């Protein structure tokens, strides 16, 4: 049986870590949440090599901005908010992946932004808490768009 990405990475053992299942569940919840808000999903788990991944790429309904969304899923907030895991290194990696995505576009967007969607809960519990943090961060100084 062929497993879908990211579970195909674990085909040798056949065991998928619980964190990967929770992350995939959180990304589905976040995508549905954004669609209900009027966002259009352009891509999910967009990968450029082994270290560059964009969880969601969406088009915002109001400003027509291209939005790169990082989804952070946690069972609880016992150790802090999920957004706190988007540290400097993660922001840099997301900026690098966004740049690669933008380089491949024929029509360049007028505006881009980086959002975070927090999903707190688990599939087997009550409905999760979902928070959308718009314009959560910039990729950092020295970041230049590829055009």
User: DSSP letters along 61-75, please?
Assistant: TTT--EEEEEEEEES
List, for the chain, all residue ranges whose pLDDT scores fall below the cut of 50.
1
In degrees and rounded to multiples of 5, residue 54 shows phi and psi of: -110, 120
pLDDT of residue 1: 45
Sign of CA dihedral 8, 14, 19, 21: positive
| 3-class state of residue 23 by DSSP | helix
Quick: pLDDT tens for 61-104. Answer: 988 899 999 999 999 999 999 999 999 999 989 999 999 999 99
pLDDT of residue 5: 55
Q: What is the CATH number of domain 15-137?
A: 3.40.1350.10
């Amino acid at each position: 049986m062929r497993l879908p990405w990211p579970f195909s990475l674990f085909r040798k053992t056949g065991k998928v870590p619980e964190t990967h299942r929770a992350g995939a569940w959180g990304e589905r919840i976040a995508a549905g949440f954004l669609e209900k808000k009027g966002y259009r999903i352009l891509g999910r788990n967009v990968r450029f090599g082994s270290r560059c991944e964009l969880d969601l790429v969406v088009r915002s309904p109001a400003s027509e901005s291209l939005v790169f969304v990082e989804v952070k899923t946690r069972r609880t907030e016992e150790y802090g908010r999920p957004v706190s895991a988007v540290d400097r290194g993660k922001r840099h990696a997301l900026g690098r992946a966004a740049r690669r995505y933008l380089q491949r576009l024929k029509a360049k967007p007028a505006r881009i932004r980086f959002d975070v969607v927090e999903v707190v809960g688990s599939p087997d519990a009550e409905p999760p808490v979902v928070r959308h943090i718009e314009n959560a961060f910039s990729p950092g100084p020295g970041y230049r768009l590829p055009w």
